[in-house]
Chains A and B, each alone.
Chain A
Amino acid sequence: MGEFPVLLTILLAPVAAALIMAFLPREEKLLIKCVAAAGTFTSMALAFYTYFTYDTGTGGVQFVQQIPWIKDLGVTFYLGVDGVSLPLMLLISILGFSAVFASWNVDHRPRDFFILLCLLITGVMGTFVTQDLFIFLLFYEMVVIPIYILIIIWGSTKRVTKEYAGMKLTIYLLIGSAFLLVGVVALFMKTAGILGAPDMSFAGLARAAKSLSQFDQIWMFAVMLFGFGSLISMWPFHSWSPDGYAGAPTAVSMIHAGVLKKIGGYGLIRIALYVLPVGAQFWAPVMAFLGVCGVVYAAMAALAQKDLKYIVGYSSVSHMGYVMLAVGSLSVIGLNGAIAYMFAHGIMAALFFSMIGFIYEKTHTRWVPDLGGLHRQIPKISAGFMLAALATLGLPGLISFIPEFTIFIAAFNKYGGLAVAAIAGVIVTALYALRAGAYALFGPPREEYDHLQDIKGPELVPLVVLGTVLVVGGLLPSLLFNVINCGTIPLMAEINAALQIGGKF
């Protein structure tokens, strides 16, 4: 315990910021924002430090910190990251920092807003840094509340009211987590019986779950698939996503689309797949099929949208379909692709939402036909928007291409024709991404937007930070894959070992 508790600091820095903010007078808006920025920045800096000092030679779970908590349930406050969770932890820390700046202009009750935002960031972060199922669930439930409040108070009403959107999102997440809980409790009960002593750590559960019967594995996986699937907006449990994003304030959309969805994918890999490999093998084709459905379906639906946030909302559903497909391929390449793609999508979706947020803030509309010609008046926002659009359509050289490519390879290997349908999705993606960009930004400039101010100062931070990650990650994919490899290779080895014991279907 002599070491500096890096992960704990990363986790608690936003909480500390929230606490400080709680004691600041509500009029000190700038100070409040600075505190939030400082908290999230600490988190981000340390996350980068963690990411680059993670020893890829050794691999495994590193930066471990264990505090026994509830003995009777086998719960340990077990912090640690490996190649699967590290990229996602980095992602949330980056997004958290950017989200603070993306909401720099929040004027309505800024103190409450930033406190909730910081709590939200911590909650999401917690799910990624823990190696204990109970703590994972705890943090996950912690996330739901701030999101709901943030949408209800600071959201915007368009096609659906913000209350409806917030309610739908929250209830969906809760239903998902209720199913999840059923699976987790069942898993816990059964494994505790097998182990003799309760153990909630992922590794312990996985070890015990090997002796579960095939039927148990299958039904538990199904329950978890539903839980995590509705979290990752798996088709057909996706409809909260576009509405929710449309209703949410910018920062929430960023964090939600960027990372919160990824908790679903992460959980699917880290818990469902790792602990219940036999179930995973049974359900893999279903996952892949639903993933492909999501890809095509949501891409087509995005094509019909006129509201920028709806476009990105559907697009993120579509992209999560790729993740499902990749997870369904049950191979190292697929899992690598899935995790890297989650990271990539987090960055680009966040950039997209932050730019849309700025556009909305300045023009007070997100309705594409009402926009147009903006690139003359607000070139920096437009550049960011186009960057995000191009990343969305998987342009090589940006962060999303290589993960997409690996996913395609893995999926193609396993599912052939099904994967072709998913790959065809890239055409539709290009169509809607470019249409959105073209109709909103290009074309003849409109007079009513002549007075608009381009982003400057702190508002530039999301663009700079996310844009840099977007490009650097695209040019040097090995930065991402070297770390992810450390997580997926042992994971897949365990899964394969378990499958060999469990026998074939």
Chain B
Amino acid sequence: MQIPVVKLIDPVTMLSIGPAHYVILSAVLFCIGLFGVLAKRNAIMVLICIELMLNAVNINLVAFSKYVTPADFIGQIFAIFVITVAAAEVGLGLAIIIAIYRNKVSVNLDDFDLLKW
């Protein structure tokens, strides 16, 4: 029923697109997002990068949906939910940022160190 797909190292595998390609792409995108989340100073930027990370997840979900359970659409449906939650998250996140901005007149995350000792 299932056939093992060989490694990516040699050109043949490089060219026969399989789950590994999508996983690596998703990892790259996720890492870009992560880097943004960790290293950007602007709160909105962090929000944006979180979207990137969520999208990276979506790639995985859809890819596995195709390669693992093509007929069940589990991954796709999951991705739909992720998109829903992401939308809600962006809305709320922006609202919170705006509220904070009103109080602090800043969206600079370095200014929000109230948890500091």
A and B touch in the complex (CB under 8 A): no
A interface residues (Cβ-Cβ under 8 A, vs B): none
